[in-house]
Amino acid sequence: MESPEQIRERILAGFPGAEVTVAANPSPSDQRSLVVGAANGREIARFLRDDEVLKLDYCSNVTGVDWPEKEIIEAVRVELPDPSGGPPKIVEKKVKRVQPGCLEAVYHLYSMARGIGPVILRMRTANRGDRVTLPSLTPIWRSCEFQEREVFDLFGIVFEGHPDLRRILMWDELKDHPMRKDYVAPDDFEWEPTPHDAVLARAARHFQDPTPAEAPRSGAKEGAP
């Protein structure tokens, strides 16, 4: 099978100016994936399906990833000019950089005709708040329908062009997307039969302490390892 870099070259030959990058994978499997810009996503997916060499006719799995906003501290070397005229000093400065968050849809593609795969296709939304739209790939691979609904349900990615985008696992009235990193589960841990620290602390919040003297002690218990 072609390497992701070769596939990228051929995509760029067909779609000049398209955003395609190969995402590295530092794990031992070294399974690199293609990160495709949302603007040309569907055309590139159609190209991958219809291409005579790859013929990726089977989408086995669609899943989502939540990338929250991340603060990255980088060490940057800065040259400080010496006021007395000597050689400039090189100082390492720590620079904080905020990497914006996004939601990501991941497609695992195989070829039944050629017996190859997987080719991993990823698309990213602009942010995690108001711009969470991606082109649906259900018109390309029909098997994406339910799985894109699941990604919509649990991550909140809106797939444009999906024939029937509804929640599939949770109920329609729910406002949350439970698989997002910032999801706050409903506080219904009133009681734990096998209590352990964090859950016990959540359960204890449901009870008022009978005496004020007990309050700091239960507070200290929450912080205890």
Partner 1 sequence: MTITDEERDELRRHGILLTSLEELYNWGQSHSVWPLNFGLACCAIEMMAASMARFDIARFGSEVFRPSPRQADLLIVSGTVTKKMAPQVVRLWNQMPEPKYCIAMGACAISGGPFKQGYNVLKGIDRYIPVDVYIPGCPPRPEALLNGLIALQGKIGEQKLTGPDAPRHLRADTVCDYPVPEFGEHDLEPPKNPGVWQPPAPVRANKA
Q: List residues near partner 1 by CB under 8 A.
A: 169-176, 178, 183, 185-186, 188-191, 193, 195, 199-200, 203-204, 206-207, 214, 217-218, 221
Smallest CA-to-CA distance from 154 within 130, 136, 178, 127 is with 178
CB nearer to partner 1: give 96 or 175.
Answer: 175
Residue 7 phi/psi, 5-degree rounding, is: -60, -40
Tokens at 10, concatenated: 């051929």
We find the least distance from the C-beta atom of residue 63 to partner 1, in angstroms, to be 17
Residue placing its CB nearer to partner 1 in the complex, 26 or 210: 210
Q: How far is the CB of 201 from partner 1 (least distance, A)?
A: 10
Rounded CA-CA distance 149/159 in Å is 8
Which secondary-structure segment (H or E) carries 32? Answer: none
What is the crossing angle of helices 41-50 and 4-14, to 10°?
Answer: 110
Whole-angstrom Cα distance, residue 105 to residue 117? 18
To partner 1, the closest distance from the beta carbon of 208 in angstroms equals 11
Least gap, CB of 204 to partner 1 (angstroms): 5
Shortest distance (Å) from residue 221 CB to partner 1: 6
Give the separation between CA 182 and CA 84, rounded to whole angstroms: 52
Question: Among residues 49, 58, 52, 43, which one has the least CA distance to residue 109?
Answer: 58
Residue number with CB closer to partner 1 (92 or 171): 171
| Residue number with CB closer to partner 1 (72 or 213) | 213
Distance of closest approach, residue 203 Cβ to partner 1, in angstroms: 6
Question: Counting Cβ atoms within 10 Å, is residue 119 exposed (0-12), middle (13-18) or buried (19+)?
Answer: buried
| Residue placing its CB nearer to partner 1 in the complex, 107 or 155 | 155
Of residues 60 and 191, the one with the C-beta less far from partner 1? 191
Query: Which residue in this structure is represented by tokens 């760029």?
Result: 12
Give me the residues paired with residue 111 across strands. Answer: 116
